[in-house]
Homo-oligomer: A and B are copies of this chain.
Amino acid sequence: MSVGHTGVTTEPVVSCGDEHEDCGIREVLDRIGDKWSVLVVVELAQGVRRFRQLQRAVPGISQRMLTLTVRRLERDGLVTRTVHPMVPPQVEYELTAMGHSLTYLVKALTDWSAEHRDAIAQARQEWDAAYPDSGIR
């Protein structure tokens, strides 16, 4: 995917077209852009998980945020929540077909990230060296 020099390469034609607003990117971004959704989806991509399993698998997430995150994913039709009436309670979360399709997008995300993290880190170092106290971070 070398975009190389001056020449125009094959553009992915990403544009908002005639939309006045912001395409529909915001909708997705508002979901995957938050702090935990993607990490929860990544874990659920491995299979069915219970609440505490999820919390242990996503270090640092609070009970409250995990609840909010899975609720929103459920509301969007990306995750199913299955309650098994027993003591102690058992609730299982699982990706829907749509939630599953999202993992392909997430993979694209991680791939791009892995591919460019070094270049980004270097660019940042150079920039920070050039403008030591710019306030930008």
Interfacial chain B residues near A114, Cβ < 8 Å: 23-24
**Nearest Cβ on chain B to A77's Cβ, whole angstroms:** 3
Does any Cβ of B come within 8 Å of A86's Cβ?
A: no
A96 and B1 alpha carbons, distance in the complex (Å) = 13
Interface size on A, residues (CB 8 A): 67
Q: In chain B, what residue has the closest Cβ to A77?
A: B123
Chain multiplicity (copies): 2
A108 touches B108 (CB 8 A): yes
Does any Cβ of B come within 8 Å of A66's Cβ?
A: no
Chain A 118-137 interface 0/1 with B at a Cβ cutoff of 8 Å (1 = within): 01101110011000001011
Interfacial chain B residues near A122, Cβ < 8 Å: 77
B46 touches A7 (CB 8 A): no
The 8 closest A-B pairs by CB, nearest first: A77-B123, A33-B33, A12-B107, A3-B97, A24-B113, A75-B127, A28-B113, A14-B107
A interface with B by C-beta (< 8 Å): 1-9, 11-16, 20, 22-25, 27-29, 32-34, 38-39, 42, 45-46, 59, 68, 71-72, 74-77, 97-98, 100-110, 112-114, 116-117, 119-120, 122-124, 127-128, 134, 136-137
